Structure 1
Amino acid sequence: MRVRHKPWARGKLEHYTDIVIRSPKYYNGEWGEAFHREARLCVEIGTGKGQFIVGMAEKDPDANFIGIELHESIIVSALQKCLDANLKNVRLINADARGLTEYFAEDEVDDIYLNFCDPWPKNRHEKRRLTYSAFLAQYEYVLKSHGAIHFKTDNQGLFEYSLESFSQYGFLLRNISLDLHHANDRENIMTEYEEKFSKKGQRIYRCEAVCND
């Protein structure tokens, strides 16, 4: 996906430093300070324009939510959604998710959400997939015992790969769905991509991978 450059995005992000955390390493192990309270900590990797994380935060105000997104011109839309909804339980990190273990301490995160990440279908790009073993090692490190990875995709190949990757790494699989919207899960919060794909009649695949400590 080509990202449309928004030259004003950086200035806006820097204006709302209470929501957009510019130095996430500072809060490693102390994320309760960023929210001014201790609560369950949920992290979305690749938060995009923020529809999912805002929906989750509205649905569960007792939890703290963090959205990680690399591109300034995308995460600024997530910031605006947080402002419009007047949410107090969302923080955003404008950084590369590959630094996850620098931002969060061991056993600090309760849930990780991976929604419609790039499938990187070519074999030579396997290491870039967010469900590749090197990424799973980071997730396992920051997740609490029995913490879960919540994974959704429209790509059958990536889903099959991810199920195998989770299983081989030792995660316990649960809540597997090969057609999430057909199952009519009323608890499901959709992303922007999910709405788009669903309207086209595409299948949405979902599973949860639990740290089996």
Structure 2
Amino acid sequence: MRLRKKTWARPELEACNFFIINPSQYKGKWREAFNNNNPIYLELGCGKGTFIAVHGSENPDINYLAIDIKDEVLVLAKRNIEKAYDEKGLEVNNLKFMAQEISLINDVFSEEDIVDRIYINFCNPWPKKKHKKRRLTHSKQLEKYKQFLAKGAKIYFKTDDDDLFNESLEYFKESGFEIEYITYDLHKSDFEGNVRTEHENMFSEQGINIKFLIAKR
């Protein structure tokens, strides 16, 4: 669904102290943005921010970065993040988010930016053959992530889409990742600590199994 342009979204984002207006300025020095040496976890395509809000507010010793492209979505993420932290009586000190085209991820991250985990939740499946290289799990993208992923770092990936999931398995293997964990029905699996997203609940209510894997570099 296409969101209507909201002229007030950008001003609200720019007034937020954990929104990064110009992410390229931190390329090679994301730890300076947090002013500590805690691990960095990155969510690609954070949507309305419900997933990262839960993780961030529950894990103050981990630095979280969230990326999406539309101001109209990111402003909702901002509000959900603030709400989650406020409910726990916390300041948003360990989470930052930004507007960035993920296909150009290497414009804002370099090999000096050591990321320990990536989350990819319900990304666009791009089912047409000519569009598959746009997938966030495509080998072309995985090679970009490897520029800043730590050795032993993990990618957590979940989706409702069977074709995307099965083809992503091949992408990970092609790019030298080890599949550490896999399930074709996350909600009936033994995996602990899953944070459900809005899309996840929607697909589950439709009777669609959630596919999930952990790939280790």
Give SS of 1:181's match: helix
TM-score scaled by length of structure 1: 0.94
Corresponding residue for residue 194 of structure 1: 200
* 1:58 positional shift: 2.0
Q: Is 1:96 aligned to 2:101, yes or no?
A: yes
Partner residue of 2:170?
Answer: 164
Show the 5 A alignment for 1:21-40: 21-40=20-39
Deviates more, 1:134-143 or 1:98-107: 98-107
User: What's 2:153 paired with?
Assistant: 147
Gaps of 5+ in 1: none
Q: Please list, as runs of the form range in 1=range in 2, the aligned pairs for 1:100-139 lying within 5 A after superposition.
A: 100-106=105-111, 108-139=114-145
Moved beyond 6 Å, runs of 4+ = none
Q: Name the structure 2 match of 1:58.
A: 57
Out of 177, 181, 188, the residue aligned to residue 187 of structure 2 is 181
Cα deviation, residue 40, structure 1: 0.4
Give the partner amino acid of 2:92. Answer: L
SS at match of 2:146: helix
Q: Specify the code of the residue in structure 2 equivalent to 1:154.
A: D
Aligned residues: 210
Once residues 210 and 26 of structure 2 are traced to their aligned partners in structure 1, the CA distance between those partners, rounded to angstroms, is: 35
Supply the distance in 1 between the matched residues of 2:131 and 2:27 (Cα, whole angstroms): 30
> Counterpart of 1:55 in structure 2: which amino acid?
V
SS in structure 1 of the partner of residue 69 of structure 2: coil
Using structure 2 for the length normalisation, give the TM-score: 0.92
User: Secondary structure of 2:60's partner?
Assistant: coil
Q: CA 1:152–1:95 in 2, change beyond 3 Å: closer, same or farther? A: same
CA distance in 1, matches of 2:103, 2:3: 20
Q: Secondary structure at the match of 2:81?
A: helix
Give the deviation of 1:124 after TM superposition.
Answer: 1.2
> Percentage identity across aligned positions?
39
